[in-house]
Amino acid sequence: MKTRKLGSAGPDVPVICLGGNVFGWTLDEPASFRVLDAAFDAGLRFIDTADVYSRWAPGHTGGESETILGKWFARSGKRKNVILATKVGMDLGDGKKGLKAGYIRQAVEASLERLQTDAIDLYQAHQDDKQTPLEETLAAFSKLVQQGKVRFIGASNYSGARLSEALETSRKNGLASYVSLQPHYNLVERQPFETELLPVVTEYNIGVIPYFSLAAGFLTGKYRSPQDAEKPARGGMVKKYMNDWGFSVVAALDEVAKAAGSTSARVALAWLLAQPGVTAPIASATSEKHVSDLAAAAELRLDAASIEKLNHVSTAQATPTAV
């Protein structure tokens, strides 16, 4: 598996990141272990999760994904061969949310325990906390780096202005600095990243690991009609793409995939890998077949004409209209 530098100060990481949100949610523990084993064997050794996964599921409280990952590390002995990323800051209930120093100290200990590890490779602010001074948050992260509990820190769901402010806060105060950004970015969600965030990540040379790289499965081609969005776990998340514009993007993916002897999912990820600033798209897998698609996407190189075709069709409508 090829690797890329996670920004100027970060580690080398595989060019595809395995999303851990499905572990303990749409995948039970045995199925999660099978996917993790297959991913490791395929060279997918960069895994992203969060303490909040999967609090949204009935009966869940958060931490389910981290717990399964911890059990897999203990069973497999492969922790040292995996780059592990998790996140802090989303609401876990009972006042457990945000990026205040005291809460970060509490949350990291809980994540370390669930993950059954001594250190997290990439610890990320899951979303901006405007109620907490950036200097307080970054000082807390710096302390974790100094203690060896965290190797690097990253940001997710920050605006361009706040990301720039955070990076400058670290520089001016000699604090640990975000080496990566995790934004919502894919073929059907382009404008916010490309207009607001790309200039910042380019200026500061930090890595980009986009989430929802396959638009909750829409870009795999499995949603061909509004009826297709009624059953799957993420059906409600793709309804806004179920229109002529969205289906035209899927059709273009089909055409490029056919010409390349590939699949729509692989092409969508390969398009992301070809975009300026992108280090490693995040994508989940719920089967060994999905794992094969992710691994193959890392090897797929699209020609200029294919990239232009996808660029053109995906910018034909700036904001998708829901059916």
DSSP string across 187-241: TTB-HHIIIIIHHHHHHHT-EE--BSTTGGGGGGT---SGGGGSSSTTHHHHGGG
Q: Is residue 79 part of a domain?
A: yes
Measured between its terminal Cα atoms, the distance across the chain in Å is: 39
User: Residue 10's closest CA among 172, 211, 222, 181?
Assistant: 181
Distance (Å) of CA 28 to CA 31, 33, 256, 287: 5, 9, 34, 12
Q: Is residue 69 part of a domain?
A: yes
Q: Is residue 84 part of a domain?
A: yes
Cα–Cα distance for residue pair 115/79, rounded to 1 Å = 10
Low-confidence ranges of the chain (pLDDT < 50): 318-323
Annotated active-site residue in 53, 103, 123, 178: 53
Q: Could you confirm whether 103 is annotated as catalytic? A: no
Q: Which pLDDT tens digit goes with each residue over 70-113?
A: 999 999 999 999 999 999 999 999 999 999 999 999 999 999 99
Cα–Cα distance for residue pair 82/146, rounded to 1 Å = 21
State the helix-helix crossing angle for 101-115 and 134-147, rounded to 10 degrees. Answer: 40
Q: Which pLDDT tens digit goes with each residue over 194-244?
A: 999 999 999 999 999 999 999 999 999 888 776 666 655 555 788 889 999
User: Residue 225's closest CA among 211, 256, 246?
Assistant: 246
Q: Is residue 255 part of a domain?
A: no
Domain around 168: 3-219+268-302
Q: What is the pLDDT of residue 322?
A: 32
Q: What is the pLDDT of residue 224?
A: 75
Q: Is residue 263 part of a domain?
A: no
Q: Domain count of the chain?
A: 1
Q: What is the pLDDT of residue 2?
A: 87
Q: What is the pLDDT of residue 320?
A: 40
Q: Is residue 224 part of a domain?
A: no
Q: Is residue 309 part of a domain?
A: no
Q: Is the pTM of this model over 0.75?
A: yes
Residue 53's CATH number: 3.20.20.100
Q: What is the pLDDT of residue 222?
A: 86
CB atoms closer than 10 angstroms to residue 150: 24
Q: Is residue 160 part of a domain?
A: yes
Q: What is the pLDDT of residue 228?
A: 67
138 close to 132: Cβ distance less than 8 angstroms: no
Cα–Cα distance for residue pair 226/244, rounded to 1 Å = 11
